[in-house]
């Protein structure tokens, strides 16, 4: 059992919102994450819903801003929020840009130096973190969902498509849908994976669906006033790929909503309910 350092714990909607740190074998550095334990977890194991945050965020952002705990408490879901990248890596250029490096792990395992050693967020989220949660919290085995926002929406979609055996439900809020075709993704993929677009396709939701990967029904919410909609997010490409491939998708467009946490807070109840329908059945 990996030892946890308790950083903070707070009573919240009858449960406990906590933030923790542990020595990650996969990352090779300390990693922080959050867990909301609903009141039901005091009596029996509960399903786990993992939330992946976006660029510049950390393990606390969603827990503080989204107001999701009240809905997780209602349905009896444990919320797990990993950090968005390794921290204090000693890589000088890691802090140069807000959209690459620190706070911008893109939920993949880097293969390019100097990032290959520590930027292993896919393995961390899909392998190590679930073990740490299972060892330290009252999580129900074999009942997990995943969702996320922006870069984290990209992560939720791609990890669900790449690891269908791990996730029973998936959703995304304003996700980067086709990272191999937009500036954020091109920058990150080149830095982490190299210049070969064939490598990028392995971490691109649109390309994964076109190549035959499948996930449970996707719920995707997108604001029409999102400042990143046209250049970076491209939900219409996901919509087209799902239509061609027969991948179930519910894409909801919300008039007047932007990219921020006011939007997330406005729709998060629906996302929790979407996951609970499967995980709590």
Q: Are 167 and 116 in contact (CB under 8 A)?
A: no
Catalytic pick among 24, 144, 150, 169 = 150
Count the neighbouring beta carbons within 10 Å of the beta carbon of residue 280: 15
Helix residue spans in 90-225 (DSSP H): 121-123, 129-136, 151-162, 183-193, 197-200, 205-210
Active site residue 259: yes
Helix (H, G, I), strand (E, B) or coil at 127: helix
Catalytic pick among 118, 203, 226, 275 = 226
Tokens of 238: 């996901």
Active site residue 226: yes
Sign of dihedral through CA atoms 51, 262, 222, 268? positive
CA atoms of 98 and 155, how far apart (whole Å) = 18
CA atoms of 268 and 3, how far apart (whole Å) = 32
CA atoms of 203 and 197, how far apart (whole Å) = 10
Using CA atoms, how far residue 194 sits from 33, 110, 185, 188, 191, in Å, is: 29, 9, 12, 9, 6
Chain centroid, CA 185 distance in Å: 15
Q: Are 77 and 53 in contact (CB under 8 A)?
A: no
Helix (H, G, I), strand (E, B) or coil at 260: coil
Catalytic pick among 75, 118, 203, 259 = 259
Backbone angles phi, psi at 197, to 5 degrees: -60, -25
Catalytic (active-site) positions: 150, 226, 259
């Amino acid at each position: 059992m990996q030892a946890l350092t308790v950083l903070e714990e707070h009573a919240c909607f009858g449960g406990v919102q906590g933030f923790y740190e542990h020595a990650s074998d996969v990352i090779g550095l300390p990693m922080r994450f959050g867990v909301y334990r609903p009141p039901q977890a005091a009596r029996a194991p509960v399903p786990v819903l993992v939330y992946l945050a976006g660029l510049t965020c950390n393990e606390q952002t969603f827990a503080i801003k989204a107001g999701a705990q009240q809905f997780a408490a209602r349905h009896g879901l444990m919320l797990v929020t990993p950090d968005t990248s390794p921290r204090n890596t000693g890589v000088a250029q890691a802090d140069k840009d807000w959209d690459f490096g620190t706070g911008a792990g893109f939920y993949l395992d880097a293969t390019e130096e100097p990032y290959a050693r520590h930027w292993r967020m896919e393995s961390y989220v899909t392998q190590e973190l679930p073990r740490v949660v299972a060892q330290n919290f009252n999580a129900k085995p074999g009942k997990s969902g995943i969702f996320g926002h922006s870069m984290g929406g990209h992560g939720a979609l791609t990890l669900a498509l790449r690891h269908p055996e791990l996730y029973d439900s998936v959703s995304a809020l304003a996700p980067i849908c086709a990272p191999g075709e937009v500036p954020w993704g091109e920058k990150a993929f080149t830095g982490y994976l190299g210049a070969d677009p064939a490598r990028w396709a392995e971490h691109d939701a649109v390309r994964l669906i076109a190549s035959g990967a499948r996930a449970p029904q996707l719920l995707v919410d997108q604001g029409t006033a999102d400042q990143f909609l046209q250049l970076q997010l491209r939900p219409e490409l996901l919509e087209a790929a799902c239509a061609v491939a027969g991948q179930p998708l519910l894409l909801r467009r919300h008039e007047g909503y932007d990219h921020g946490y006011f939007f997330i807070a406005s729709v998060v109840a629906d996302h929790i309910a979407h996951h609970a329908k499967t995980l709590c059945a």
